Amino acid sequence: MTRTWLCLLITAVLLCLTCAATASWGDERCAVSASIANIRQGPGTNYDILWRVEKYYPVIVKEKKGDWVKFEDLEKDEGWIHKSLLSKTETVVVKEDNCNVRQGPGTNYPVLFKAQKGVPFKILETKDNWVHIKHADGDTGWIYKPLIW
């Protein structure tokens, strides 16, 4: 092989590896693991805080820069968060106001509390069309699947 062909081959391999790494960013789903996390305009504490989110807030990773992660949320809003504030926890978000959270997986169980639109929960388990959830404050219960994202 000539030197030119070898350089082209190495360049092609590196390009493929770069594309593969970039493609995987869009598939990674995470959740906020801190009680409260600052969402910033850019990858660093010197950037403005855009908003704050609570534990179990779900995000989809779009880009990584050092120790910072650019993400998109369920409403397609984007921001940056430090990677130490994320985990692979499976979560959901309530999509309606005043949703009943019940003692068990069915309407025959008593209502424990009402959940509001936008509130995130950790998934503990699923049973048919019901999801056993846990809030950051420790409250648990069952919610009907069509009421969550």
Tens-digit pLDDT profile for residues 115-147: 999 999 999 999 999 999 999 999 999 999 999
Read off the tokens for 143: 């919610």
**Which tens digit of pLDDT belongs to each residue from 17-71?**
333 333 344 569 999 999 999 999 999 999 999 999 999 999 999 999 999 999 9
pTM for the full predicted model: 0.77
- Say how many CA atoms lie within 13 Å of 133 toward its Cβ: 30
Length of the chain: 149
- Cβ atoms of 112 and 141 within 8 Å: the answer is yes
Identity (one letter) of the amino acid at 71?
F
Report the percentage of the chain scoring pLDDT > 90.
80
**Domains with residue ranges and CATH for the chain:** 26-87 (2.30.30.40), 91-147 (2.30.30.40)
User: Closest by alpha carbon to 92, among 73, 106, 108, 76?
Assistant: 73
Task: Tokens 């369920």: give the residue.
Answer: 74
